[in-house]
Amino acid sequence: MRQMRRSQHSENRLLELFQAYLLNHAHGLFSSLGRLNRAPFTSSMTVLVLAIAIALASSFYIVVANIQQMTGNLESSNQMSLFLHDNITDAAGQKMAEQLQQNPSVAAVKFITKKQALEEFKANSGFSDALNALERNPLPSVIQVMPKNALENNEDIEKLMADFKQLPQVDFVQVDMQWVARLQTIMLIASRGVTLVSLLLGFAVTFITGNTIRLELQNRQDEVFISKLVGATHSFIQRPFLYTGFWLGFIAGFLGWLIVTIMLLILESPVEKLSTLYSSSFELLFLSFSEFILLLMISSLLAVLGSWAVLHYQLRQLKPH
């Protein structure tokens, strides 16, 4: 009976310790926020600098995401158009298309007669009245060739192109989507550039927070000294400072998001106007909810990391141990 009571007692003690631990964390979380609030000028300067760094990185990111959205719709393919000489009849063209189909490097062919080409052009270009005025069809017939997927290699494409050029019926050959491939390569470079710049800005966030925490630690040296002498562990002393770092990062992340969103809102209507001029259905991409959450998490994490690194080093420097 007594033993049972004793074990229950120690269980209660453990629960109390755990409760006290949680309360200490909660206290750290809120008191650090209160502390930031009590030095509004210093805090807001730091938070703004952090927010600008975060906004820069996210705006680069969203610009690239928007351009990628625009070019992503364009399918990258090596489709070739073989423009035939004017004197080739539809029947001869059709026959030639069937022959090309036999070529092992070719996946699919499509023959477009002069007449079909004209219809298509009339429908899409808006020049139908002008075209109607013409006496004869100026457009050549075309064979569209889709090479096999295996021909990713540029040299193979060039070789196939040269082969087609040799054909007597062919006037000239054009690889339709080469510019898309180029654009997509440029975008790849751009997005890699954004990653690098974001990394740099991430370092900036880490260092700025670290430095702010270092100053804060200096301001509160007495408190750290006394806490150490009454038996505080490093992790106990660290805790409120880490929460301060967390809040700096968190608030800066939110502000950074706000800045980017406001910039996008300012850009939205001119982009929309441009889009209608190109009769395109392009819509400006904003940061999604999950990207927003990710942004908050990354900025808080970087700030905590910066604070931790500084505290880890500085607390061991401060006498007494």
Partner 1 sequence: MLKFEHVSKRYPDAGEALTDVSFHLQRGEIAFLTGRSGAGKSTLLKLIAMMEQCTRGTVTFDGQDISRISERKIPYVRRNLGLIFQDYKLLHDRTVFDNVALPLVVSGYHPQEVARRVRASLDKVGLLGKERKHPLALSGGEQQRVGIARAIVNKPKLILADEPTGNLDPELSAEVMYMFEQFKQVGVTVLIATHDLELVTHLGHRVLTLDKGHMIAS
CB of 27 to partner 1, least distance (A): 9
Please state, as a whole number, how many other Cβ atoms lie within 10 Å of the Cβ of residue 134: 11
Q: Using the rule CB under 8 A, is 219 a contact of partner 1?
A: no
Q: Residue 83: exposed, middle, or buried by beta-carbon count in 10 A (0-12, 13-18, 19+)?
A: middle
Question: With respect to partner 1, which residue has the nearer C-beta, 28 or 210?
Answer: 28
Number of other residues whose CB lies within 10 A of the CB of residue 31: 13
Region near partner 1 per CB under 8 A, out of 39-47, 106-114, 133-141, 224-232: 224-232
4 vs 157: CA distance, rounded Å: 84
Query: What span, in angstroms and rounded, lies between the C-alpha atoms of 92 and 113?
Result: 11
The closest of 120, 122, 141 to 131, measured between CA atoms, is 122
Q: Which of 48, 146, 232, 285 is close enough to bind partner 1 by CB under 8 A?
A: 232
Structure tokens of 71?
């070019």
DSSP 149: T
Closest approach, Cβ 20 to partner 1, in A, equals 5
**Binders in 9-48 for partner 1, by CB under 8 A:** 16-17, 19-21, 23-24
Q: Which is nearer to partner 1, 309 or 318 (CB)?
A: 318
In contact, 257 and 56? CB cutoff 8 Å:
no
Cβ distance to partner 1 smaller for residue 31 or 73: 31
Restricting to residues 78-97, which ones interact with partner 1 according to CB under 8 A?
A: none
Residue window 236-255: x/- pattern of binding to partner 1, with contact defined by CB under 8 A? x-------------------
- Is residue 321 a contact residue for partner 1 (CB under 8 A)? yes
Choose between 98 and 223: whose C-beta lies nearer to partner 1. 223
Q: Would you give the DSSP letter of residue 299?
A: H
Return the closest-CA partner of residue 143 out of 182, 116, 104, 123: 116
319 binds partner 1 (CB under 8 A): yes
Q: Which residue's CB is nearer to partner 1, number 66 or number 244? A: 244
Helix, strand, or coil (residue 141):
coil
**Minimum Å distance from CB 241 to partner 1?**
15
Binding residues vs partner 1 (CB under 8 A)? 16-17, 19-21, 23-24, 222-223, 225-233, 236, 316, 319-321
